[in-house]
Structure 1
Amino acid sequence: MTEWDLRKLRILRTLSERGTVTATAEALAMTPSAVSQALSGLAKQLGVTLLEAQGRRVRLTDAAHLVLRHTEAVFAQLERADAELAGYAHGEAGEVRVAAFSTAVPALVVPAVVALRRSHPALEVRVRESEAAESYELLSSGEVDLALSLAAHAPTAADPRFTRVPLLADPLDVALPPDHPLAGAAAGELRLADLAGYPWIFGGSGPWSEITRAACEAAGFVPEQAHSAAGWTAILAMVEAGMGVALIPRMAAARAAAVAVRPLPHDRPRRHVIAATRRGADSAPALSRVLTALREAAAPDGHPAA
């Protein structure tokens, strides 16, 4: 029977994710030559060619992809083993590391941590603010245990490395200048189409630009972008100054005290927030408690995801 070297398999998996030997070495705190030697040794152990030269880079062979398919199942099973071992502590203690995007930290993560400090004071949650791309790199490398992101910017449900956990369907509201003609609209009366002729404020690129454009186009118009900003402080300052209108997630509503915020029940724009774990790790008691606390924090601020 073939002897499988888990350390070398992890190096191969990292190479498939990072694309180059140099990037793999950086991710694993190794030298490029050590990475190359480990992969050469793995190829000899398995008796197949794993890499082929492609210019100055390397390409994974079909045999390497076959090995990786089985490797993901092996690592998932090892995560389950770790989770079962952790179960002996009943999740009452331990450490869970969470990466989350900026608006999720105050709206979801902080309330969850506060609740857990009361119910499970020996359970420590370490929080790291990061956007989706970085969060999933951290999750894949084992530097965090849980990643919060928008569903639209998470790996697909078919990705064998992760388990996705729906958390929240976060409603989008419209932020208007305090003296805007529609600022006094009664609850439920305002529609996105009513704002088609006004200047809009949103990022030039990235998730919030995509969300704003998609919501407005679903309402039948293309928003006129008057100003570009990515941070909520800048966006809301411009709205307050009468420079335009903007969509804001309800999770960020606490920052919008100086502007008029109106719901859009007819259009019902939403963004979906998910948590993700490494596949097989979600049953670990401590991680399960954190997920439960996040779901409970999500429920008062929007519609809990199914």
Structure 2
Amino acid sequence: MVEWDIRKLQVLRALRERGTVTAAAEALHMTPSAVSQQLANLARQLGVPLLEARGRRVRLTDGARLVLAQTEPVFEQLERAEAALAAYAEGEAGEVRVGAFATSVPALVVPAVRALRDAHPGVSVRVREAEAAEAYELLTAGDVDLALSLAAEAPSAADPRLTQVPLLADPLDVALPPDHPLAQAPALTLTDLSSEPWIFGGSGPWSDITRRACEAAGFSPYQGHSASGWTAILAMVEAGMGVALVPRMAAGRRDGVVLRDLGPDGPVRHVTAAVRRGGESGRAVCRVLEALRDAAAAGL
């Protein structure tokens, strides 16, 4: 019977997540040679090759992927055990590391932290701002305990590593200069703006969200200018250089810009929270999730 070694399996899992021996070693605070030695020992224990060379890199064999697929429930149960132990030892106390995309920090994370200070002062939150897709990468790598991100950037819902919790459908408003002919139109749709120059990032989630919303309305947006920060985007809108979609959660009041609601059929972006499978049973994580749900409900 095979003698399973959790530490060696964690090393193999880190290699799958990080892609290279060097990156896995950095994540595990080990040397690359120690990682290679652990994997070689694991291969001998299991009696199957786990790595194959591809140029200067290595990739996991089908046998290695089979091992990880079959042992994933073990990691889930270990997460549950760790969460249960923390709840027993610390009660209501504990630190939760949150990776969150930029606009969610002031709109959701900060209100949640304020509420936790009053209701559960022993639960602390350490925030790490990250791009939407990066938040999930930080979660699966173990660098944060909870990821606040966009559903469009999430791994497959069938991913066995994560539990995803829908939080908010954030409407997208259109930003127009005040003197735009449609700024005060009684009803406004994206199709009405199909010939306008649009302002959005050259790549990344916001570019994808803008393009998908316009294409769903029947046109491909002409990108007049490229910008990723809301300050720059709204400044260009104010100057009459184009129009832009702006998530309501990110929009602040700005003189010189008119924000128009596109109605109940207008586009939205879906904000989700995610934890590693099993981690949702941790009491401190549950408290943070509850506070985020309350902040999302208050912002609707």
Query: Residue 225 of structure 1 is aligned with which of 223, 226, 233?
Result: 223
Question: Equivalent residue of 1:158, what SS?
Answer: coil
**TM-score for the superposition, normalised by structure 2:** 0.95
Rounded Cα–Cα distance in structure 2 between residues aligned with 1:83 and 1:19: 28
Rounded Cα–Cα distance in structure 2 between residues aligned with 1:168 and 1:91: 29
Alignment-mate amino acid for residue 153 of structure 1: E
Rounded Cα–Cα distance in structure 1 between residues aligned with 2:278 and 2:256: 45
Rounded Cα–Cα distance in structure 1 between residues aligned with 2:255 and 2:81: 48
CA RMSD of the aligned region, Å?
A: 1.6
- Once the two structures are superposed, residues 84-119 of structure 1 have per-residue CA deviations (whole angstroms, 9 ceiling, x without a partner) of 223326852111110100011011111111111111
- 8 A contact 2:94–2:284 mirrored in 1: yes
- Number of aligned positions between the proteins: 300
Q: Relative to 1, partners in 2 of residues 1:88 and 1:26: Cα closer, same or farther, differing over 3 Å?
A: closer
Q: Relative to 1, partners in 2 of residues 1:197 and 1:48: Cα closer, same or farther, differing over 3 Å?
A: closer
Moved more, 48-57 or 221-230: 48-57
Query: Residue 271 of structure 1 is aligned with which of 247, 269, 272?
Result: 269
Question: Equivalent residue of 2:118, what SS?
Answer: helix
- Once the two structures are superposed, residues 43-63 of structure 1 have per-residue CA deviations (whole angstroms, 9 ceiling, x without a partner) of 122222212223322232222
Rounded Cα–Cα distance in structure 1 between residues aligned with 2:143 and 2:156: 21
Moved more, 17-26 or 239-248: 17-26
Q: Relative to 1, partners in 2 of residues 1:257 and 1:75: Cα closer, same or farther, differing over 3 Å?
A: farther
**Structure 1: gaps of 5 or more residues:** none
How far has the Cα of 1:255 moved from its partner? Answer: 5.2
- Once the two structures are superposed, residues 263-303 of structure 1 have per-residue CA deviations (whole angstroms, 9 ceiling, x without a partner) of 0015420111111101110111110111111111111323x
Rounded Cα–Cα distance in structure 2 between residues aligned with 1:282 and 1:256: 39
Alignment-mate amino acid for residue 22 of structure 1: T
Residue 216, structure 1, aligned to residue 214, structure 2: yes
**Counterpart in the other structure of 2:161:** 161
Residue 30, structure 1, aligned to residue 30, structure 2: yes
- 8 A contact 1:50–1:63 mirrored in 2: yes
Alignment-mate amino acid for residue 184 of structure 1: Q
Q: Relative to 1, partners in 2 of residues 1:266 and 1:161: Cα closer, same or farther, differing over 3 Å?
A: closer
Alignment of 1:134-153 (within 5 A): 134-153=134-153
- Once the two structures are superposed, residues 225-244 of structure 1 have per-residue CA deviations (whole angstroms, 9 ceiling, x without a partner) of 11110111110111111111
Q: Relative to 1, partners in 2 of residues 1:283 and 1:55: Cα closer, same or farther, differing over 3 Å?
A: same
Rounded Cα–Cα distance in structure 2 between residues aligned with 1:91 and 1:150: 31
**Structure 2: gaps of 5 or more residues:** none
Rounded Cα–Cα distance in structure 2 between residues aligned with 1:89 and 1:38: 32
Alignment-mate amino acid for residue 129 of structure 1: E
Residue 122, structure 1, aligned to residue 122, structure 2: yes
**Counterpart in the other structure of 1:80:** 80
Q: Relative to 1, partners in 2 of residues 1:257 and 1:8: Cα closer, same or farther, differing over 3 Å?
A: farther
Alignment-mate amino acid for residue 160 of structure 2: P
Alignment-mate amino acid for residue 152 of structure 2: A
Rounded Cα–Cα distance in structure 2 between residues aligned with 1:116 and 1:183: 40
**TM-score for the superposition, normalised by structure 1:** 0.93
Rounded Cα–Cα distance in structure 2 between residues aligned with 1:157 and 1:180: 42
- 8 A contact 1:191–1:267 mirrored in 2: no
Rounded Cα–Cα distance in structure 2 between residues aligned with 1:166 and 1:133: 16
Residue 53, structure 1, aligned to residue 53, structure 2: yes
Q: Relative to 1, partners in 2 of residues 1:22 and 1:178: Cα closer, same or farther, differing over 3 Å?
A: same
Rounded Cα–Cα distance in structure 1 between residues aligned with 2:133 and 2:206: 15
- 8 A contact 1:92–1:123 mirrored in 2: yes
**Counterpart in the other structure of 1:201:** 199
Rounded Cα–Cα distance in structure 1 between residues aligned with 2:146 and 2:254: 28
Alignment-mate amino acid for residue 259 of structure 1: V
Question: Equivalent residue of 1:254, what SS?
Answer: coil
